[in-house]
Amino acid sequence: MKKTLLYIILLLYPISLFCQSSDEIIFRAMELEAKRATDSLQMAGLSKPFFVSYSVTDKELIEIKAVLGAIVYSNQSPRFRNISVKPLIGDYKTTNIISFNADMVSSRASAENDEGQLRRDLWLATDAAYKEAAATYRQKTASGKSNKNINDFLPAKPFVRTTVQYDTLRFDKEGWEKRAKELSAIFLNYPEIVNSSVTYKSSNTYYYHYNTEGTKFVSPAGLSLLTITASIKDKDGQTHKDKIEFVAVSDKYLPDLARCVSAIESMILSLKEMASATDITEYYSGPVMFEDQAVLKLFMENLVMKNGIIAKRDNINLNSGASRITKVDKSLVSRMGKKLVDQKITIKDASNYSHFQGMPVPGFIDIDAEGVARKDEIALIEKGLLKRMISGRMPADSGMTSTGSLRFNLLDKRASVNMLPTLLHITTEKGKSSAQLKKELLKSAASEGLEYAYIIRRYPELRDDISPKIYRVDVKTGRETPVKSATILTIMNTTVLKRIKTISAKEQIQVRVYENYPITVSLPSVIIIDDIELNQLNYNKENKQLISNPLQRN
């Protein structure tokens, strides 16, 4: 009887293993290795880690690029896996943390859902991470560079979610190759366009997290991105570039073929207009009206991309045996409660919204990469006054708490994270119509004795090479004339945002991908700012094509 029972158990054992879901295998492997680390991982003269977190990121990627009706790149990556380990030595007050994310060690791992193999990968990564943490902790404590007034790391309440509903994106490689070829072939009809491309990217990401505070969760996310670029040369040899970017949680929410064709044709007309524009010939100082993408540039660069409302701790540099603190731009931390932008402006971090105005928000997460849950929107700026900053579990100043904003990247093979909102809502209480704003622009310019004013509809953002779209507006007639080779001389910092003269009631929604992180921004479509300086940008006028485009018709 005992032999029979043993035989049945042996038969059922592999079945029970087979029936385990991939999620169960991943969580169990992380939990077992985290326990082993906190129970046994120790070096002479140091304590065991008081905190260990693991992240397992499973990802699938597809990328297709077409030029002039031909596929130049097409690749669908099989599912791959990255693991990240964060062991902390000491306590929440003083740990081995020296800079944003420097304490996290990442590596590739086997994509197979084999518990033994995954535990081995985690064990090797944990061993390496602990040794690195130990060396850092010794140097840091010996240097005395710890901030005694601020915790190095903030505790968080446990959050548990081991299952979640998610419709995995089904990559249509053949279908997107066909569409990319169709869209890129449009440029064959416009030989004056010297460079063009259509690029499609999409991803499925499953982010698993476990830490010894009791948090464990899975957070799936999809992203689809369609980017169309084109450039043209004018008669002087100056290149003008433009870009269209459609961002969505899946292909379902990308525009259809007809809308893409219309967008490309509009972009080509705009490029032709800029190529035939006249040079700005003299220095200008006066009111400027910013519209569309140019408004986004002003807010994103000053309040997000240069840290701005994102608070990060100063880095401690322990290299070469000499410790020193590398300052992170935290100028806004000291301005809490003070005026940061014009009093007509209110900005909220609405990253807790999964949908906005009927559309799903790309990159939405209800719990961040550190296990901090998001429930409410956060007022960052109220009527021009800085009220709160986006922050993580490594606070930049006393009294700061995590806003649950640490995000995992969705579009490349790295296991990187960054602190960014998914949705910003910028509003005003005293907005006017676009027609009223243009009248005010011309009136303001006339009052300064100017014959014309300027409208900027597009201007390069950080790490972007699109060309400006700038128009000179006749004060008497309101007629707009495109100009080229113009550059803004005014330093475009937060001080400029204090000088907003008038703002539109109409809002626009812009979705951008910044270094693999999608951000949705709802903001006014038009603003007028006084005392903006413009002048001519020097460029090489000899950079002409020596012979004509082979596609050019004679």
Q: What is the pLDDT of residue 330?
A: 56
Contact between residue 422 and residue 407 where contact means Cβ atoms under 8 Å apart:
yes
Instruction: Tell me what the mean pLDDT of segment 268-280 comes to.
Output: 95
Least confident of 377-381, 530-534, 544-548: 544-548
d(C-alpha 414, C-alpha 101), whole Å: 14
d(C-alpha 48, C-alpha 41), whole Å: 6
- Indicate if the pLDDT at residue 536 is higher than 60: yes
Structure tokens at 5: 């029972």
Instruction: Tell me what the mean pLDDT of segment 514-530 comes to.
Output: 95
- Indicate if the pLDDT at residue 101 is higher than 90: no
- Indicate if the pLDDT at residue 11 is higher than 50: no
Residue 14 — very low, low, confident or very high, per pLDDT cuts 50/70/90? very low
Q: What is the pLDDT of residue 99?
A: 78
Least confident of 148-152, 189-193, 214-218, 529-533: 148-152
Structure tokens at 252: 């379902």
Average pLDDT, the chain: 89
Instruction: Tell me what the mean pLDDT of segment 182-188 comes to.
Output: 98
Residue 554 — very low, low, confident or very high, per pLDDT cuts 50/70/90? very low
- Indicate if the pLDDT at residue 19 is higher than 60: no
Q: What tens digit of pLDDT does each residue of 302-343 get?
A: 898 776 899 887 777 776 554 455 555 556 888 889 999 999
Least confident of 73-87, 146-160, 206-220, 250-264: 146-160
d(C-alpha 69, C-alpha 185), whole Å: 4
Instruction: Tell me what the mean pLDDT of segment 106-122 comes to.
Output: 94
Instruction: Tell me what the mean pLDDT of segment 15-24 comes to.
Output: 60
Highest averaged pLDDT of the listed ranges 7-11, 267-271, 490-494: 267-271
d(C-alpha 126, C-alpha 40), whole Å: 12
d(C-alpha 503, C-alpha 515), whole Å: 30
Where do runs of H (alpha helix) occur along 314-384?
none
CA-wise closest residue to 299 among 340, 258, 360: 340
d(C-alpha 237, C-alpha 260), whole Å: 29
Instruction: Tell me what the mean pLDDT of segment 64-75 comes to.
Output: 98
Q: What tens digit of pLDDT does each residue of 340-370 get?
A: 999 999 999 999 999 999 999 999 999 999 9
Task: Dump strand ranges (E) for 374-479.
Answer: 378-382, 385-386, 406-408, 417-419, 423-428, 452-458, 469-474
Least confident of 273-282, 301-310, 382-391, 508-517: 301-310
d(C-alpha 232, C-alpha 19), whole Å: 58
Distance of CA 33 to the CA centre of its chain: 32
The secondary structure of residue 413, as a DSSP letter, is S
Beta-ladder partners of 326: 315
Instruction: Tell me what the mean pLDDT of segment 75-93 comes to.
Output: 95
Residue 150 — very low, low, confident or very high, per pLDDT cuts 50/70/90? confident
Kindly report the pTM of this predicted structure: 0.90
* Greater model confidence, 257 or 414: 257
Distance of CA 405 to the CA centre of its chain: 11
Specify the 3-state DSSP secondary structure of 537: coil
Distance of CA 489 to the CA centre of its chain: 27
Q: What tens digit of pLDDT does each residue of 436-491 get?
A: 999 999 999 999 999 999 999 999 987 788 999 999 999 999 999 999 999 999 98
Q: What is the pLDDT of residue 116?
A: 96
Contact between residue 223 and residue 166 where contact means Cβ atoms under 8 Å apart:
no
CA-wise closest residue to 84 among 61, 110, 104: 104
- How, if at all, do strands 423-428 and 517-524 pair? parallel
Q: What is the pLDDT of residue 545?
A: 67
Domains of the chain: 21-227 (3.30.2290)
Residue 13 — very low, low, confident or very high, per pLDDT cuts 50/70/90? very low
